Amino acid sequence: MSQLNVVVLFGGCSPEHEVSLQSAAAVLRNLDRERFRPLPVGISRKGDWFLFSGSEAAIEDGSWLSLPECAPCALLPDRSARALLVRGAQGERLLPVDAVFPVLHGANGEDGTVQGLIELAGIPLAGCGTLASALCMDKHRAHLLASLAGVAVPRGAVVGPDAPRAEALRLARELGYPLFVKPVRAGSSFGITRVAQEADLPRALETALQYDREAILEEAVPGFEVGCAVVGRGADLLLGEVDEVELASGFFDYEEKYTLRTSALHVPARLSPADAARVKAAAAAVYRALGCAGFARVDLFFTPEGRIVFNEVNTIPGFTEHSRFPGMLRAAGYGFSQILTQILEEAMRA
C-alpha cells in the first residue's frame, strides 16, 4: 500500500500558537509512517505558510521557523490540483495532498476559516468541517443548538463592545454573582474571568473583548467539569472514557489546563457507571446537534444534584501525550496511533 500524503497544519496566528506546536509534534510522532507520509506545514504568527522538513523537536521548542528546512508554500484552492505549492531555491514544485489534518487551536484555525479553504480545495479534511467548527467556536450559538437538542446549558447573555455599561450591569444582576465573563469566540480559556462582585465586571468585559468582538456573561454552574472524547460521525461514534477535572480553587484556566499546577484529572471520572453513561449520551447529543465529524472533545458540568450542563466543544483539542483527548481514549482502550489512523480513514471516506 502506497503512503498517503497528509498535510499536518500547526502554529497559526492565534494566542494558542505555542499549544499547537506541542500538539502537532505529538501527532507527527504518532502517525503510522507505513500508511501516511506527513507533510508538516507551519503557519507563522503573521500567517505565512511554510513546509517544514526538520524534526518534531524543532516544532516543539518553537525554533522551526528560523531553520533552513522551511520552504514557503501554499495550499492551492483549485479542486483539480489537490496540491501544495512549494517554493524553493530550485523553483516551484507541486506536492500532491491526499488529506489535511489541522492541528491548530483557536482563531484562524479552529473556527472554520482553515476548514473552508480545505473544503474549497476539495481535499479530505480530518476533523470538523467549516460550519461545525464555526458553530462550536461560538459559545452562544453552540449553547442555543445544544439546548434545542435537549441538553441543559448555562443561563447567559451576550454583550457587544458598544453595549451601555448599565445594560451589562443589569444583565449581570439578573444572572447573579458569581458569574463568568468569556469571549464568545476563543479557546484555551483565554480572556475568561470569574467575577464575584459587580465592581469587577467592567474590567472582566474589557479583558474578554480583547479576544473577540462579543463577550458572554454566563452563570457559574456549581459542581465540577467533565469531558468526553468523541470520534466519528453520525450514528457511528466512538466515545472515550469520561474524565473529571478536580480543582483546588478558581476555575480551569489556561495555566491549569497545561500545567495542572493545583488541579488534577481523573480518568475515568469518579462517577457511577450510570452517570458516566449519561455524560456520554449528552456529549454525543451535542456532537451531533452541532454537526461535528471526525473528532472533538465535549466539555460539560456535573452538578451536585446530578444535572449535566453543557459547557463547550473543542473541535481541535490538545493532542499532546498528556492531553485530555488522547487520555480519555487511552482509558477506553484505544492507542494514540490507532485513533489518528481512524480519524484519517474516516476523512478519506467522507
pLDDT in tens, 171-193: 999 999 999 999 999 876 789 99
- Give the mean pLDDT of the chain: 93
**Residue 257's pLDDT band (cuts 50, 70, 90):** low
| DSSP string over 55-92 | -HHHHHTT-GGGSTTEEEEEE---TTT-EEEEEETTEE
pLDDT tens, 102-157? Answer: 999 988 899 999 999 999 999 999 999 999 999 999 999 999 999 999 999 999 99
- Asked if residues 240 and 332 have their Cβ atoms less than 8 Å apart, the reply is yes
* Rounded Cα distance, 241 and 269, in Å: 8
* Rounded Cα distance, 89 and 41, in Å: 18
Lowest-confidence region among 53-57, 77-81, 200-204, 257-261: 257-261
pLDDT at 258 over 60: no
**Region 56-84 average pLDDT:** 97
**Residue 316's pLDDT band (cuts 50, 70, 90):** very high
Q: Give the model's pLDDT for residue 253.
A: 52
**Residue 340's pLDDT band (cuts 50, 70, 90):** very high
**Residue 259's pLDDT band (cuts 50, 70, 90):** low
Phi, psi angles (nearest 5°) of residue 153: -135, 160
* Rounded Cα distance, 60 and 24, in Å: 8
Specify the pairing of strand 215-219 against strand 179-183: antiparallel
pLDDT at 255 over 70: no
**Residue 321's pLDDT band (cuts 50, 70, 90):** confident
**Region 253-277 average pLDDT:** 79
Q: Give the model's pLDDT for residue 327.
A: 96
- Asked if residues 243 and 324 have their Cβ atoms less than 8 Å apart, the reply is yes
Q: Give the model's pLDDT for residue 162.
A: 85
Q: What percent of the chain has pLDDT over 90?
A: 85
